[in-house]
Amino acid sequence: MAVVVTVAVPVPALQALSYRVPDGMAVPPVGGRVRVPLGRRVVTGCVLDAPDADSDSDTPLPPVELKDLLESLDPEPYLPREVIDLALWVAEYYACGPGESLAAAMPPAALTASGRDGGFRKERVVRLTSAGHDALLAGTAGRLGPRQRAALQRLTGFPDGLGTARLKDDGVSASTVARLRERGLVALDARRVDRDPFASGELGSLEPPGGLGVGHEPTGEQQAALAALGALARERVFRVALLHGVTGSGKTEVYLRLAREVVTAGRRVLVLVPEIALTPAVTQTFRKAFGDRVAIQHSALSAGERHDQWHRIRRGEVDVVVGTRSAVFAPLDGVGLLVVDEEHDTSYKQEESPRYHARSVAIVRAQRAGALVVLGSATPSLETFHHARRGRYRHVALTERVHRRPLPAVQVVDMRSEMASEAGEAGEAAIGRSLAGALEETLARGEQALILLNRRGFAAAVLCRQCGRTFECPNCSVSLTLHRRAGRVRCHYCNYSVARPSTCAHCAGPYLETVGFGTERVEAEVAELVPDATVARLDRDAARRRGAGQSLLARFRAGEIDVLVGTQMIAKGHDFPNVTLVGVVSADVGLQVADFRAAEHTFQLLTQVAGRAGRGERPGTAIVQSFHPEHYSVVHACSQEYVPFFDEEMRYRTALRYPPVVSMVNAIVRGRSPEGAMRDAARMAAMLRAARSTFEVLGPAVAPISRLRGQHRAQIFLKGVNRRTMHTVLRSTLDSNPDLGRRVTIDVDPISLL
């Protein structure tokens, strides 16, 4: 007879394991971390189930002999039960191992050897002893040297002491502290110090609580939206609402005032944003209202900062958490409101295991907490608007911009005609004639411009004119992108890179030319067009260094940059009052992707980036360069009309049975050879069809990116109206064929089919 606990370890696709609690070890709590043997390794896992420590009953051992726990790291639960249950739902719904989903819910290093001590930073603190107090009161401190007397005086009024670093800044040396300690007048202690991500100033300075607005009193539409959403929040039951507001309609103001109402009522608020670049502005807005009762969670923080922010949340020291998708697991107790801003954004879907969608997880979390979820967007996902139209979600609309400012005037440039009129010369340039002229006029008026191209690098490919081959990644079936500033060609999937070639690797020919263009090329062209302007670029390459993205945006907002060129990172959520021109270099780049969501993503991106123009006192203009200006996604984006686009896109989705009409699962089978991948995929498809269930099984087929990171790939699609049935059959198929299961990636509700 022994005590047995269930442990989840961070190993892909591995289910929870049972371990024996050895004699003399206290039973670890549910949610506590433990060190366990796994094969020849020792790993850290999380306890999912354990008998009550006060129970007198022993647990009979299962037929197989169990291994013992090696160490229990936490006397109290590390993860709260609510977060454990949410992570287990993620594991079940998205078909991954529970250890993977639990790892996503923890701060960095929590499940590594470096997390054994909790990861807290310690500071040495000097404080007065009773003898030191007496010496000051009795006047005997006069027998000390002037530096020692000054040190004692400095410590008065600080019963908890002062850190040695702060004392050093005040001129108190370590030798002075040592002499006072020898005399028994001061003592040295250690205390925990939270690493403050706001200290650098990158996220803005803390202003006193109390100011609620972002610059104006609520409009009539905002007041109506607040009344409707406030009524839902006060019910304290699960509700989902879509806040459908055109760009510039003041959705953040609604979030902020609604959050104040929820916090005043004694509950807490979780705010999700899609991009790290958006967190400084949103966090600063909430810190103006809630002071230091705001915490942030995203991957651009240092591991120590994320750790300390996570534990502030866990200790109940905050009322509002702002973060990117992983913040949906924040250990925030008593949640009454969850906001998913720009809910349509694909960044909310994680592309590696666990492949969860933060919007869906937020809805499940709210359902279990009896909370309100507000999904905000000017261009809602088809799934969200479909639910709102059918009455599952409450639809709250903001149809006008703040101060009744007009939406930008949008001009579509047919690049086919422009290229023809220039006898081919325009084909060599990324910036067409119309956009170039508008850019010069905008800068001459002292205004700013944004230029969007959702492709980074200088050129999309390098081509040999002698043999016609392009330089391809040795690991992935994609062309290498030229990054001219770095002098390298790089794969944007596996990050393989090599120095820019001077001759062809196949025929040794010296006749190499670039094909297509990216943001680096556009930046160079703009700088050449307007040489007196300050031009900068914001994409993943430019924002790679910590704080670089925030610094660029701050400089642009301050007027130090005239033209900002970028990818989708510049397209959403930002408010730049002096931007009156937005240019879209290639509106069709997203339509070339082999994905049923291509039109939806194109419409959303164009609408969002056009909405960055004219948010101040002066009206804005957007110029959209397109080779397919008649495509309905481009037409409706330029007219800023969501409902007509939704209706047209839904006719296509309904006819071909794509989400949101049905649910979908993408199963990717990996192999060492194309034949092996297709053979295993065919075997899996046959087993799924043999289940004779109600869902469709399509494929197998070679994946659009047939080789990724050295592995060949084949795809199977499942489409049906009953997710639970698809999940059950999939899980049964893979569990009964573990050798196959190790080579299969399951993507539930996929955003990308590549």
pLDDT tens for 414-430 read 988 887 766 544 446 88
**pLDDT, tens digit, 9 for 90 and up, residues 82-110:** 999 999 999 999 999 999 999 999 988 88
Q: Among residues of the chain, what percentage have pLDDT more than 70? A: 93
Segments of 465-534 assigned E as strands:
481-483, 488-490, 497-499, 512-515
| Long-range contact set of residues 680-689: C-beta below 8 Å, sequence gap at least 24 | 680/714, 680/740, 680/743, 681/714, 681/715, 681/716, 683/740, 684/716, 684/733, 684/737, 684/740, 684/744, 685/716, 687/733, 687/737, 688/716, 688/718, 688/729, 688/730, 688/733
Specify the pLDDT at position 212: 43
Distance separating alpha carbons of residues 451 and 586, to the nearest angstrom: 10
Specify the pLDDT at position 140: 67
Specify the range with the lowest mean pLDDT, choosing from 266-270, 327-331, 369-373, 546-550. 546-550
Segments of 522-596 assigned E as strands:
535-538, 563-566, 579-584
- Does 141 score more than 90 pLDDT? no
Specify the pLDDT at position 301: 81
Q: How many CB atoms within 10 Å of residue 580?
A: 26
Answer yes or no: pTM beyond 0.85.
Answer: yes
Specify the pLDDT at position 166: 83
Distance separating alpha carbons of residues 29 and 48, to the nearest angstrom: 9
In DSSP terms, which residues pair with 696 in a beta bridge? 719
Residue 660, preceding bond cis, omega within 30 degrees?
yes
Specify the pLDDT at position 210: 38
Specify the pLDDT at position 164: 86
Distances (CA, A) of 435 to 181, 418, 431, 754: 72, 11, 6, 32
With b for 16 or more beta-carbon neighbours within 10 A and e for fewer, the 674-704 pattern comes to eebbbebbeebbebbeebebebebebbebbe
> H or E segment at 649?
helix 642-656
- Does 444 score more than 90 pLDDT? yes
Q: Which two tokens mark 740?
A: 């196959």
Domains and CATH numbers, the chain: 3-115 (3.40.1440.60), 121-193 (no CATH), 220-404 (3.40.50.300), 409-458+517-650 (3.40.50.300), 663-748 (3.30.70.600)
Q: Which of 48-52, 162-166, 233-237 has maximum average pLDDT? A: 233-237
**pLDDT, tens digit, 9 for 90 and up, residues 535-593:** 999 998 888 887 788 889 889 999 999 999 999 888 877 888 899 999 999 888 888 88
Specify the pLDDT at position 669: 96
Q: Which two tokens mark 29?
A: 């709590």
> H or E segment at 34?
strand 33-38
Specify the pLDDT at position 364: 98
CB contact at 8 A, 410 and 622 = yes
Specify the pLDDT at position 168: 87
**pLDDT, tens digit, 9 for 90 and up, residues 588-638:** 888 888 889 999 999 999 999 988 888 888 889 999 999 989 999 999 998
Total residues belonging to the chain: 754
**pLDDT, tens digit, 9 for 90 and up, residues 179-218:** 999 989 999 988 777 777 776 555 544 443 333 444 568 9
- Does 31 score more than 60 pLDDT? yes
* Mean pLDDT within 364-383: 97
Distance separating alpha carbons of residues 638 and 646, to the nearest angstrom: 14
Specify the range with the lowest mean pLDDT, choosing from 30-34, 530-534, 664-668, 689-693. 689-693
Q: How confident is the model at residue 711 (pLDDT cuts 50, 70, 90)?
A: very high
103 alpha-carbon distance from chain centroid = 16
Distance separating alpha carbons of residues 412 and 641, to the nearest angstrom: 15
Specify the pLDDT at position 159: 84
Residue 458's nearest CA partner among 346, 530, 542 is 542
Distance separating alpha carbons of residues 572 and 566, to the nearest angstrom: 12
Specify the pLDDT at position 82: 96
- Does 77 score more than 50 pLDDT? yes
**pLDDT, tens digit, 9 for 90 and up, residues 104-139:** 999 888 887 656 655 668 778 899 998 888 888 777
- Does 363 score more than 80 pLDDT? yes
Specify the pLDDT at position 170: 85
Q: Chain-wide mean pLDDT for the chain?
A: 89
Higher pLDDT, 278 or 310: 310
* Mean pLDDT within 298-309: 84
Distances (CA, A) of 665 to 356, 618, 738: 13, 47, 19
Specify the range with the lowest mean pLDDT, choosing from 258-267, 397-406, 665-674. 397-406
Q: Among residues of the chain, what percentage have pLDDT more than 90? A: 62
Distance separating alpha carbons of residues 136 and 170, to the nearest angstrom: 19
CB contact at 8 A, 433 and 443 = no
| R_g of the chain computed on alpha carbons | 29
